[in-house]
Amino acid sequence: MSQTNRRSQLIMGALPFVMMAIVAAVDLSTGPGVGYISLLALGPAFASLVGGVRRTLLIGLIALALSVALSLYNDLLGRRPGNMSLITISGVTAAGVLATRERQRRERELADVRSIAAVAQNVLLRPVPRRAGHLRAAVSYTSAKAEARIGGDLYEVVTGPSGVRVIVGDVQGKGLEAVETAALVLGAFREAAHDEPELLGVSERLEKALNRRLSGEEFVTAVLAEAHPGGTLTLLNYGHPAPLILRANGKVEFAEPKEPAPPLGMAMLAVEGPRPYTVRFEPGDQILLYTDGVVEARDRKGHFYPLEERVSLLKDDDPEAALEALRRDLVAHVDGPLHDDAAMLLLRSRDA
């Protein structure tokens, strides 16, 4: 739980007692003529917002005890104002107990949903290997919806007979349909990456799998990469943000394709897919593949995240620690919930 959430919980926990203390103080200072005693019902009303049934019931009993004491002090016990305050507090306490039970039931359901989502994410988005061939790898995934923890972004690193193959993609759309499409793409990639001798063969398998399922305007942007021990990377870009390369000498460049290509799943357009292109990737170089949730993240003034300026954060010897530093900087830039899922995959070339 974050520090802000803890502070909020403490405030909400103290609020019933603070409200009852204020009502009691005001009633003592103004006397019986005004009749503030019934406002003690604010205690059990606010109690139903946090805590359990016993706590709500206990605060209701405290409110009733205060009501009796103030009625005695104001000589109202047994008279209509005193009786009405007791009835009001009892009714609000009963309603608060019912509301607390319903809230706890919903909280348990939400906890179950989060647990299932976490398991689904571990199955769908498995941890990438720290070492794959001559590469070191690290991954970061930040969901825009904390209660779901899973979305349409996808990534995978596969070491097969043809070498190390990588995919980072983003499914158009949200919700369960996007998750299902991401699962389909990852399943097809994991199988094809082992079987197909060429990277284009892998992408063709993805196209076939998607075209059997997708319809209308659904699509998947993606970058596929194949690492060669000789110091090169072969890339296929399907309408996805260009990977960013950080050279060993500190130079930063984007691995832009020579010609743009449509996303995966757009066979109805009857246009030619992307052509493979090769970039240097020598020992000490790093390449960052990411989804548009990274570069389109805005701060409170509407400024996009300046990824090119922040890649200097990837200086830690441990790729996971380096990527975590970049992720924290991204979250700090937004200073609030992300508007879109953000996935980042960092690859480092070491000696072959």
- Name the 3-class secondary structure at 153: strand
The contacts of residue 132 (CB under 8 Å, 6+ apart) are 157, 159, 164, 227
The CA distance from 339 to 302, in Å, is: 12
The larger pLDDT score, comparing residue 172 to residue 318, is at 318
**Structure confidence at residue 33 (pLDDT):** 66
Helices and strands, counts by H and E, the chain: 9, 11
Q: Is 3 a residue whose pLDDT tops 70? A: no
Q: Model confidence over 81-111: pLDDT tens digits? A: 888 889 999 999 999 999 999 999 988 887 7
Please count the other Cβ atoms lying within 10 Å of the Cβ belonging to residue 261. 18
Q: Could you report the per-residue pLDDT of 32-57, keeping only the tens digit for each?
A: 666 788 889 999 999 988 889 999 99
Residue 272 half-sphere exposure toward CB, CA atoms < 13 A: 5
What is residue 119's predicted lDDT score, i.e. its pLDDT? Answer: 61
> What does the alpha-carbon distance between residue 248 and residue 253 come to, in Å, rounded to a whole number?
12
Give residue 352's pLDDT. Answer: 44
Is residue 295 within 8 Å of 241, Cβ to Cβ?
Answer: yes
Query: What's the confidence (pLDDT) of residue 162?
Result: 79
Q: What is the pTM of this model?
A: 0.70
Contact 111, 79 (CB under 8 A): no
